[in-house]
Amino acid sequence: MIVVDGIQKHFGGFRAIDGASFEIAEGSITGLIGPNGAGKSTLFNVIAGLLKPTAGRVLMDGEDITGLPPHSLFRRGLLRTFQVAHEFGSMTVKENLMMVPGDQIGETLWNTWTHRKAIARQEQALSDKADEVLDFLTISHLANQRASDISGGQKKLLELGRTLMVDAKVVFLDEVGAGVNRTLLNTLADAIIRLNKTRNYTFCVIEHDMDFIAQLCDPVIVMAAGKVLAEGPPDHIMENEAVIEAYLGTGQKNLPKGRE
Ligand code: ADP
Ligand code: MG
């Protein structure tokens, strides 16, 4: 579904991504791991159209999508989750979901006067859709809470929920599990698996929690110093000497499972 082909991203003379190539198969939950500074988030930003690569291409279903702006990628079903923006904190959880589809009518005064009924119908459809998403994520009880008042983990579910308001095909999750408690992490993992199985969502997941990665992802791609170091099923990856070396080399504690 996605082909990352020889991507480079330089910041000045620094090669944050130094020739990364891999594929994300349709229907997979692909993990992307690696020590801090490996270039994972930068790569997501290149794929999602927030950063232009210095070199290389990104393909989606065989089509070159390199450098397309986020909104046109969004329309193609390629989504990257974002933190709930500060300015939306005073809106309710449900209102945050209802904000998502961008091309609804009713945005101009003209439409407001001439298409009132159509707008009302559309609002109702959006509201129903938001209710369905809240139910899917088991957070219906939060519908009318201010987004700024929910917990960090619940915000992560809301971020995932926003991708459910549109017909996403491939969703990029950057450390959605960071700072999330075990129970909510399981809810999140469960939602990802259900979306993958029942709605055919493809995922690419950056995460430090190795249990989370092992539970969800196959294959797992390992990046270090801007390059792809290894790729394979999670159990192989966690035994891979080069991978262990890469983590040890940075003195980080988040070693693959069983090696700490
Ligand atoms: P990861 O997500 O794997 O932890 P990042 O992609 O965030 O790594 O960062 C990779 C490297 O690129 C880091 O050394 C970081 O400091 C650097 N970097 C990221 N964004 C920029 C930027 N806008 N300008 C300069 N350097 C950057
Ligand atoms: Mg990062």
* 170 phi-psi bin (left φ>0, alpha ψ -120 to 50, beta other): beta
Q: Determine the pLDDT at residue 221.
A: 97
Q: Which ligand is nearest to the CA of 226?
A: 1
Convert the pLDDT of each residue in 228-248 to its tens digit. Answer: 999 999 999 988 888 888 887
Domain 2-77+167-254 has CATH 3.40.50.300: yes
Which ligand 1 atom is at minimum distance from the Cα of 34?
Answer: 3
Residue 104 has pLDDT above 60, yes or no: no
Q: Which of 242, 240, 188, 237 is nearest to 216 (CA)?
A: 188
Ligand 1 centroid from CA 45, angstroms: 11
Q: Which atom of ligand 1 is nearest to the CA of 206?
A: 2
The ligand that comes nearest to the alpha carbon of residue 221 is 1
Pocket of ligand 1 (CB under 6 A): 11, 14, 16, 34, 36-42
Residue 75 confidence (pLDDT) above 50: yes
Lowest-confidence pick of 10-14, 86-90, 127-131, 218-222: 86-90
Question: Could you tell me the pTM of the whole model?
Answer: 0.87
Closest-CA residue, ligand 1 atom 14, reads 37
- Give 141-176 pLDDT, tens digit per residue: 999 999 999 988 888 889 889 888 887 899 999 988
* Domain map (residue ranges) of the chain: 2-77+167-254, 88-150
Residue 246, pLDDT score:
83
Pair type for strands 170-174 and 220-224 = unpaired
Contact 59, 37 (CB under 8 A): no
Rounded to whole angstroms, the Cα distance separating 91 from 109 reads 23
Pairing status of strand 170-174 against strand 29-33: unpaired
Which residues sit with Cβ closer than 5 angstroms to ligand 2, an ion? Answer: 41
Report d(CA 26, CA 61) in Å as an integer: 9
